[in-house]
Structure 1
Amino acid sequence: MNTTQWLQTKYLPIPLIALMVLTRYHHFGDALHLPDASLAVFFFAGFYRKPALPAFLLILAGLIDYLAIANGTSAYCISPAYVFMIPTYGVMWLAGRYCGRYKTFDRIGLPLNVGMLMLASTAAFLISNGSFYLLSGRFEEVSLSAYIAGGLQYYLPYVGSTLLYVAAGYALVKLLAFLPALQSRHTSA
């Protein structure tokens, strides 16, 4: 079974839901918390190819945010721009669907997957941060160039954590796909 087939099994939603629940509370993480894995979750949800999963994950993200705010987390990021998290996550989901077409990590598939992931993560960053600048009402006194200069510091953690989660996810799937072959070799020896 190849990587894409593993990612399309009926069990994929379980770890994706768990990862979102465990990490959504802290965008960039700290010494005690992992960074938010939502972008990677939606990327992997794209492989799953079931239309109900992204809708469920969007509702779950909103519920987690609501519960976090109700329990004392800052509501600073909640504004009219919050609705733009839908296209932000949609970009990642579409990228996952696209990457699901490349079933092997050969000299063609791997660069296509990494390139698409970088492009989608960058687009997600631009959508979420651009909409926050334009619609949150928190930056009326800040010029666009000043906002961009200040916001660039968040680009690498935003994209970097997504790349790390996706790399870890791919590695885990490859390991899980390899274990039955390893076990059969061990029992036949």
Structure 2
Amino acid sequence: MTTTQFQRLGILALLVLTMAVTRLHHFAAIPDASWAVFFLGGFYLRGWVRWAFPLLIAVAVAVDYFVISGQGLNFWTHYCVSPAYWFLAPAYFVLWLGGTWLARAHAQLSPAAVGAAAASVLIAVSACYLISNGSFYWLSPSVAAPSLAGWIKNLGDWYLPYLGTTALYLAAAAVLHLLASLLVRALAAGNDRALPH
């Protein structure tokens, strides 16, 4: 899908807003959309990776800082901000790469694109989860006695909720993408009919 600079700025603004609003309450009724945001960033903003990706990382850290310090806690000593916290950047970059691959391989909607989208989401989310969960489990002082059995149990406890949340947000984004594509085609067809031949 080809987008203009203005459209990409609008998409970036929407991604920033979505992440900021949903990341404020990680486990609230509206779950955190950060993973989907980074995947969609890779899909729509792949040419802007040098500055859009760091901007989204900065927004994520700023929201985390706001939430943690807003509770009267020290950001740097909070259990979520262990040495593993900095592994979120490569974990999120894996999601970005998944979106980038999907956009390059299947820019047009087709049955093959649906299968490729499902595969790219599954692979990107799984890799992101292994990096983020693994780094937290093995590097965070919050885990008193890390073990392989403990990590496997932890993986099992959290993997499906993260995958499901990301998939739901991406499915909603796919529906919006499809509706926008149909609207653009309808407007273009209307303009073609209105032009004198």
With the shorter chain as reference, the TM-score category is 0.7 to 0.9
Deviation at 1:144, TM superposition (A): 2.3
Matches of 1:107 and 1:181, distance apart in 2: 19
Query: In 2 relative to 1, CA 6–98 (structure 1 residues): closer, same or farther, beyond 3 Å?
Result: same
Percentage of pairs with the same residue? 36
Determine which structure has more spread, i.e. the larger CA radius of gyration: 2
Query: Are residue 158 (structure 1) and residue 155 (structure 2) matched?
Result: no
- Quick check: 1:86 aligned with 2:89? yes
- In the TM superposition, 1:80-159 aligns within 5 A as 80-101=83-104, 102-159=106-163
Paired letter, 1:124: C
Aligned to 1:36: 32
Cα contact 2:134–2:151 (8 A) shared by 1: no
The alignment status of 1:70 with 2:60, answered yes or no, reads: no
Quote the offset at 1:106 in angstroms: 1.6
Deviation at 1:94, TM superposition (A): 0.5
Aligned residues: 183
CA distance in 2, matches of 1:114, 1:156: 15
Give the secondary structure class of the aligned counterpart of 1:131: helix
CA RMSD of aligned residues (A): 2.3
Question: Unpaired runs of 5+ in structure 1?
Answer: none
Please identify, of 137-146 and 127-136, the stretch whose mean Cα deviation from structure 2 is larger: 137-146
Alignment of 1:7-26 (within 5 A): 9-10=7-8, 11-26=10-25
CA positional deviation for 1:6: 5.0
Q: Tell which deviates more after alignment, 96-105 or 74-83.
A: 74-83
Amino acid at match of 2:2: Q
1:6–1:177 contact (8 Å) kept in structure 2? no
TM-score, normalised via structure 2 length: 0.83
Output the TM-score relative to the length of structure 1.
0.87
CA contact (8 A) 1:23 1:36 kept: yes
Displacement, 1:40? 0.6
1:45 and 2:41 are equivalent in the alignment: yes
Which whole-Å CA distance do the structure 2 matches of 1:119 and 1:80 have between them? Answer: 25
Distance 1:54 1:159 in 2: 21
Larger fraction in helix? 2
8 Å CA contact 2:25, 2:32 repeated in 1: yes
Q: Say whether the 8 Å CA contact 1:44–1:96 is kept in structure 2.
A: yes
**1:68-127 Cα deviation digits (max 9, x unpaired):** 101118733111100000111000000111011111232322211110111110111111
Give the distance between the partners of 1:146 and 1:96, measured in 2 at CA.
31
- Name the structure, 1 or 2, with higher relative contact order (CA <8 Å, separation 6+): 1
Native 8 Å contact 1:99 1:116 kept in 2: yes
Which amino acid in the other structure matches residue 157 of structure 1? Answer: P
Deviations 1:35-82 (A, max 9, x none): 111111111111212121001000111111001101118733111100
Unaligned stretches of 5+ residues in structure 2: none
- The Cα of 1:184 is off from its aligned counterpart by 6.8
